Structure 1
Amino acid sequence: MPQSDIEGSIPFRWFEEAPADGYRNDPDVRHAYTSMIDAVRRFQDAVAGSVPPPGVSHQIEAALARMVDMIAPFAVGEDRQLFNRVLEVSGRAQSFTPEIVFDHSDTDEVQARVVFRRFHLGGGGAAHGGAVSLVFDSLLGGLANSGRSRSRTVHLEIDYRHITPVDTELTLFGRVVEEKGRKRYLTGSLMDGDTILAEANGLFLALLPGQQ
């Protein structure tokens, strides 16, 4: 599989994936799809950090339209999609949330690393607060489901302590604080060395049988 921008990673099961059809499980299909998503990430960063002349913008627009036409015949339903479902790679084959690379994980605690890229820039060299929130929701939501039944985010509160820099390797921590019936309370932090950049508190609710 294509490699993350951050060196090293250990497997982390975000949730138990539903059985997939043979084609979606084909290693060549998964590898090629993940490589395509890596290229999408690079393109997003390039777009965010450039101001091309009109002629180039129009050429890129036309090229993107051709790509949409190329991929359209292969549209699938949610139950068969690969986007955000390739769990064995750090980015899960999605281009929405920054890649999270795990250094330690069990059912109660995780430690990981993340880099906010140019695409996630808000302004003044700082990552957009929404991107930080996305990372926490992904991290804590995955931990809430690790070794447990599926759950959904009910409440997520973020305290922004310092500016979160882009293009810098940062450390993430997540922990299950308490479980009460269907309710799962988790906490997390984002750090640059010894500096706390942001902290999160989340409540996740286990799904009832038949809920999705």
Structure 2
Amino acid sequence: MYDQRTDEELFAEVAQRRAAGQAFGGPLGALVERWGRPARYVVSKIQASYGRGSPADADELFQDAVGKFIDRGLDQFRGLSEQMPGKSASPKTFFLRIVKHVAIDFYRRQREDLAPAPRDPDDAPEESPVQTARAMESARRGEERSEAQAFYWAAFARLQREHPKEAGAWELYHHLDVEDHVECARRLEITVANSYKRVSRAQAYLKLYLLEARQTAEAEAAPRSSIAGKVSDE
């Protein structure tokens, strides 16, 4: 029942119901569901800037942002842009700003928690072998996630350089809030069939680039491992 209504219309209904003390979960749920994909894209950009995080974080941070939007954002939103005074702002833009700040705070706290605190070495508690193994495994998984993200964004940057049309369609369909090929085609001013083709080609290029990047990384790592082995033997 909400599909044909704009974000502004749904938000107005949320505000009206809330002011009247009525349930507003229906229109609000429809809104945040629409904003799910762009919100996760915002989280992925913050993850890339901090060099940490996983896809699972996006869902948790999205839910945290929804909670903050309900608790405080509904009262704070005035429909005006903070960056450009006098200009109007959409509820979606306001919500994505909340997502951005939630993600920044989360990864900033992680970075601060990982920073070694100054202390007397004699007072440091000894870790058990199990704790040490868990810490090492957690660090290894974090490095793997960061590496996978770095590979992806490098591959996407290459796609933008070598096949900008396919990259544009891929970014609209997978990174931004475009959820179908009809809307994607409308924004790119192409046919729906061409939208399908560009996204499909982009996926094929990205798979190829990722494969090549991993093969190159493995080939570069092999000589280093061989040299390290010789040094150890000597």
Q: TM-score with structure 1 length normalisation?
A: 0.23
Larger radius of gyration: 2
Which structure's residues are more often strand, by fraction? Answer: 1
Which structure's residues are more often helix, by fraction? Answer: 2
Q: TM-score with structure 2 length normalisation?
A: 0.21
